[in-house]
Amino acid sequence: MKKPLILITNDDGITAPGLRALVDFMKELGDVVVVAPDSPQSGMGHAITIDNLLYSKKMILDLDDDENTEEYSCSGTPADCVKLALQEILDRKPDLCVSGINHGSNSSINVIYSGTMSAAIEAGIEGIPAIGFSLCDYTWEANFTHAKAQIQQIVREALENGIPPGVVLNVNIPKLETKEFKGIKICRQARANWKEKFDKRISPSGKEYYWLTGEFELLDKGEDTDEWALANGFISVVPTQFDLTAHHAIQTINNWKLN
For the segment 177-216, give every residue that binds a second copy (CB under 8 A): 183-184, 186-189, 191, 193, 196-198, 200-201, 207-212
Instruction: Tell which positions 64-83 bind a second copy, by CB under 8 A.
Output: 76, 79-80, 83
Instruction: Tell which positions 221-240 bind a second copy, by CB under 8 A.
Output: 237-240
Q: Is 12 annotated as a binding residue?
A: yes
Q: Is 66 annotated as a binding residue?
A: no
User: Under rule CB under 8 A, how many of the chain's residues touch a second copy?
Assistant: 83
Nearer to a second copy, 16 or 111 (CB): 111
Contacts of 51 (CB under 8 A, 6+ apart): none
Q: If we measure between CA atoms, which residue out of 37, 24, 242 comes closest to residue 151?
A: 24
- Minimum CB–partner distance for residue 63 and a second copy (Å): 25
Contacts of 167 (CB under 8 A, 6+ apart): 124, 239, 240, 241
Instruction: Tell which positions 40-59 bind a second copy, by CB under 8 A.
Output: 40, 42-51, 53-56
Q: Cα–Cα distance between 223 and 117 in angstroms, integer?
A: 23
Residue 15 near a second copy by CB under 8 A: no
For residue 78, CA distances in Å to 42, 75, 122, 163 come to 9, 9, 9, 21
Q: Is 110 annotated as a binding residue?
A: no
Nearer to a second copy, 13 or 17 (CB): 13
Q: Cα–Cα distance between 131 and 168 in angstroms, integer?
A: 6
Instruction: Tell which positions 154-173 bind a second copy, by CB under 8 A.
Output: 154, 157, 161, 163-164, 166-167, 169-170
Q: If we measure between CA atoms, which residue out of 102, 98, 184 comes closest to residue 142?
A: 102
